[in-house]
Chains A and B, each alone.
Chain A
Amino acid sequence: MVMCDTGRSGLALLMSVSGTRPQYLAIGSGSGAVAITNTVLIKEPSGLRQVFDTTNIATQKQVKFTTTWDSVTMSGMGLKEFGVFSLASGGKCWNREGFANIAFDGTNELQIEVTFEVF
């Protein structure tokens, strides 16, 4: 997992008036090594970016975002990557995570939980 350069810049910008907080989680089917220089997902289908369902700040110095996709939306997708974005479409990712393929055949729904921490 990787905290991208754009994410670090995004955090610094948030301390001024020009930053935009992360609000969306995007999923994709592209595979490729994650890198600190990633700015987008390798292969992000259009229309699958979701706004966070919940934001949890119960733990100090941490924020946890949770997002779900239903079985119809996920049906037929081979999920291999996801990332957090500030915009509903386009823009640059705060982080990008890659993993082995998870196949969705219409019989299962997806939930992603991501916790950011300032340490």
Chain B
Amino acid sequence: MVTYIKLDIASTTYTDLLSTNVTNTIGDNNSSSHFTVQLKNINGIYSDTFSINDEVEIWAEKDVSPATTKIFTGIIEDIKFKGKEQDETITISGRDYTARLMDRNVEPEVYNDDDIADIVIDIMDKYVDTITRTNVTASTGITLNHISFNQTPVYDALKQLAEMCDHIFWVDTNKDLHFQSKGVTSSGETLNNTNVRKATFKETDREVYNDVWVYGDTFLTGREDTFTGTGTGSVFTLAFKPHNTNVTVNGSIQYGGVFGIYTDVPSGVQYLVDYHDKQIIFASGTACGDNIPALNGSITTSYQWDRRIVKHGTNEESIARYGKKTKIIVDRNIMKPKQAADTVSQTLDLFSEPRKQGNIDLQNIVYLVPGQTVIVNLPNHNIDNVTYTILESKYIFTQSSMLSDEVLKVKVADKIKDVVDTIKQILLDMKKMQAADTSSEILTRMMWGAGSAGFRVKTWALNTNAIGSEFIIGHPINSELDGNYHMWDGTYDWTYSTSGGEA
């Protein structure tokens, strides 16, 4: 079997390819589909042929030339020239249109009581203009009580939504977004000893989480604690750790300080706040005097206390099998308890069991679509007709690989985090922290418009019409009906006199 490839750049076909690599992937993989093409640049034939943003289309086919199955649509983002002696090459690379999802942000948005599919559609309609959304599922069946985004890349917002409803998403070769449930579409292929050249399967409990804590945003609410003075007691314990305390004794405002700061409480300070021990301590000393409230004195403490959104959940069956594995999620964008609870449930659903991932080198198959499912039957790997989702398809087109049918490699099953994913998560968490400080009731948007407007007189014209022998009432000459003059027939014969203007 021979694999054929067809490459078009800006609608022009190129055949003198040295090598072509295409990687198609779905959103689970934290990356977009991408390509790299290397061509011979003999005598600089392609020195100015390609431009950034030119559209790239790649087809592949088994035993059919020219190939007719489109496997990739994207844009050029990098152009590299390399020359040594007689050997000149040009390498172009870029991403597919998933790049548009990565490059655009969801501006401050809040969704309440919306189906996840409706949120996806709204985000796509508002923030992404070059990708259609025909294959976004009509309904996920999961309604979110509350979710908010604040300058989150569209890609990451979709990934978060997809994880919440166990969906996957990708942009296909027709620049259309697919957002659908896992395992919906089968590729129709079974991978077994007839088409698998090499397979590596890994199962790990590195990402098992069965004890999940979610910390959301913090709200301050006010309260008032009252006490009665004993005449000798100076320490009064509050119900909660206080912020912004306001203390009065018999209606008289007291002036406060921070416990532990002073070696000798200075004059003017009447009480001290011990935040962590939740105490108000009335001061007495040489400089500050005796501020201890008198017997039966009325003490009122008004303050604000933290109400942090916190939810906790466990999967006891997973804990029994794999031991307790704790995950802590801190996200200040979580502003409602229900949203925190949903996050706990979703995390437990996804991560209570070990993850399995396979890398398979194939033959006799030329095209597999990430997002579709495939049946894997490799008994030596303890995999007996198990259905897995295709996470990634990688094509390496060289003369040798196409002739020997060693073009396609796939990655299947659950994604296991690697260093790249960890770094990505760190960057995303930093962005969320930064974005939290940008939330605001009033948002000033500045937009620079393209072009300007002007106002002018485009043209003007003066025309005259000779009245000839028309009868005109009131006219000094033409007002006498004596045979020389006739009634006006109602028409004008304007003659150009002068004109001007910009045109």
Contact = CB atoms under 8 A, between A and B. Distances in A.
A108 interface: yes
Contact of A100 (B464, B468, B472, B498): B498
Interface string A91-119: 00001010110101011111111111111
A110 B453 contact: no
B455 A111 contact: no
Interface stretch (B98-106, B221-229, B286-294, B474-482): B474-482
A111 B463 contact: yes
A2 B456 CA distance: 8
A116 B457 contact: yes
Interface in B451-478: 453-468, 472, 474-478
B475 A72 contact: yes
Given A70-B472, A99-B498, A116 B456 contact: yes
Interface string A1-14: 11100011001000
Nearest to A4: B457
A2 B460 CA distance: 11
A110 B466 CA distance: 9
A62 interface: yes
A37 interface: no
B501 interface: yes
B14 interface: no
B260 interface: no
A113 B478 CA distance: 27
Interface residues of A, number: 33
B497 interface: yes
A98 to B, nearest CB: 9
B455 A8 contact: yes
A80 B196 CA distance: 93
A110 B458 contact: no
B494 interface: yes
Given A71-B475, A72-B472, A109 B464 contact: yes
Given A1-B500, A72-B474, A116 B466 contact: no
Contact of A112 (B453, B461, B475): B461
Given A106-B477, A109-B465, A95 B457 contact: yes
A112 B462 CA distance: 5
A75 interface: yes
A118 B454 contact: yes
A114 B467 contact: no
Given A72-B474, A118-B453, A1 B460 contact: yes
Contact of A107 (B457, B458, B466): B466
Contacts of A99: 462, 498, 500
Contacts of A115: 457-460, 501
A1 B456 CA distance: 9
Contact of B457 (A3, A11, A75): A3
B475 A117 contact: no
Pick the most buried of A8, A102, A115, A118: most chain B CB atoms within 10 A of its CB.
A115
A110 B492 CA distance: 11
A58 to B, nearest CB: 14
B501 A108 contact: no
B497 A102 contact: yes
B458 A11 contact: no
A110 to B, nearest CB: 6
Contacts of B456: 3, 116-117, 119
Interface of A: 1-3, 7-8, 11, 62, 70-72, 75, 79, 82, 95, 97, 99-100, 102, 104, 106-119
16 contacts: A1-B457, A3-B457, A7-B455, A71-B472, A102-B498, A108-B464, A108-B465, A108-B466, A109-B465, A110-B463, A110-B464, A112-B463, A114-B459, A118-B453, A119-B453, A119-B456
What 10 pairs across the A-B complex have the smallest Cβ distances? A117-B458, A108-B464, A115-B458, A111-B463, A109-B465, A1-B500, A114-B460, A115-B459, A113-B461, A71-B467
Given A97-B500, A102-B462, A102-B497, 5 more contacts: A1-B502, A3-B455, A111-B462, A117-B502, A119-B456
